[in-house]
Amino acid sequence: MSLATAVRIAPPAYAQVDEERHAVLRRQIHRLARRRKALILAHNYQLPEVQDVAHFVGDSLGLALEAQQDPRQTIVFCGVHFMAESAKILNQEKRVLLPSLAAGCSLSDSITAESLEEWKCRYPDHVVVTYINSSAEVKALSDICCTSANAVSVIRSLPDKKILFTPDRNLGRWVARQFPEKEIVIYDGCCPTHDVLRGADVASGRRGHPEAVVVAHPECREDVLELADEVCSTTGMVAAVERHPEAKTFIIATEWGLVHQLKKRFPDKEFIVADGCIGCRLHCPYMKMNDLDSIARSLQEDVFEIQVDPDIASRARLTLERMMAVPRDR
């Protein structure tokens, strides 16, 4: 019996929601947010109940823009640490709170400032493009950032032919294939949640749903991307569904949290997580560390405030601002 089948028989904890308790917490969070004039932002990979309590849900680029545009001075950032840090870097005068300090990111941790320094010494003529899933220190040592929503446009915007792409090797390879004229050296990091998925999983999903459109995130491995009809960021996936009005079923190769947004926006369509079940392998434990209890506590006790060294912040800010001047990929 496959893992997916086993979990379908015994639904994971995420499926067992205490609606009454959630309703009480939701009211408490909205009351506290109003009193504190706080903006609640949630990433597309957050728990469904966290997405539902937020003022705005999106990808890291959308959340960064929202954090800048909204006049509220306190931001409760329901995402992982590097995202809250980016919001702080772009809004140094605002108070940015992360409900769970344990919400890290393995991909971001796969590159340190020291390892990037060493790479830069090995490739002194290369421009450094760093995925937003990285620490403030790593961003500060880079030339420009990108997200999965604008990686292709960022590389296209650079006149330089020699590029160091850090830290995600799958995204790096996918982008590099689109620029054969450039020499793109790719760092060997990955997102374990996406990297665990295999082409065989997608092929098996396709056998069960031959009519389905396969939409994959570029953090997935090459064998997965080869089978995809669309490769895009989480926000790009919403647009991808719109591009296929005739399709009824979609196989989604990314963290399962996004399926909540897709189901809300397209209630008539069926979305199948590419590993066959909700909360199995395409599950980021860090993204799921913020819950309604920790958001209420964050607003009540003013925790956990994100601080970034001002010198690092001002250098990292430049790389984020250069990125934000580039439009999203289609």
80 versus 312: smaller Cβ distance to ligand CIZ: 80
> Shortest gap between Cβ of 310 and ligand CIZ (angstroms)?
25
Helices (H), 91-198: 106-109, 113-122, 136-140, 151-157, 169-176, 192-195
> Shortest gap between Cβ of 329 and ligand CIZ (angstroms)?
11
206 burial (CB, 10 Å; 0-12 / 13-18 / 19+) is middle
80 versus 277: smaller Cβ distance to ligand CIZ: 80
164 versus 323: smaller Cβ distance to ligand CIZ: 323
> Shortest gap between Cβ of 198 and ligand CIZ (angstroms)?
20
217 versus 317: smaller Cβ distance to ligand CIZ: 217
- List beta partners, residue 230: 215
Encoded tokens for 8: 């379908």
> Shortest gap between Cβ of 61 and ligand CIZ (angstroms)?
6
Residue 199: φ, ψ to 5°: -55, -35
3-state SS, 1-39, equals CCHHHHHHHCCCHHHCCCHHHHHHHHHHHHHHHHHHCEE
Q: Are 132 and 61 in contact (CB under 8 A)?
A: yes
Residues near ligand CIZ (CB under 6 A) are 43-44, 59-60, 132-133, 147-148, 217, 233-234
239 versus 303: smaller Cβ distance to ligand CIZ: 239
| H/E element, 165 | strand 162-166
| H/E element, 166 | strand 162-166
233 versus 290: smaller Cβ distance to ligand CIZ: 233
> Shortest gap between Cβ of 214 and ligand CIZ (angstroms)?
16
> Shortest gap between Cβ of 104 and ligand CIZ (angstroms)?
13
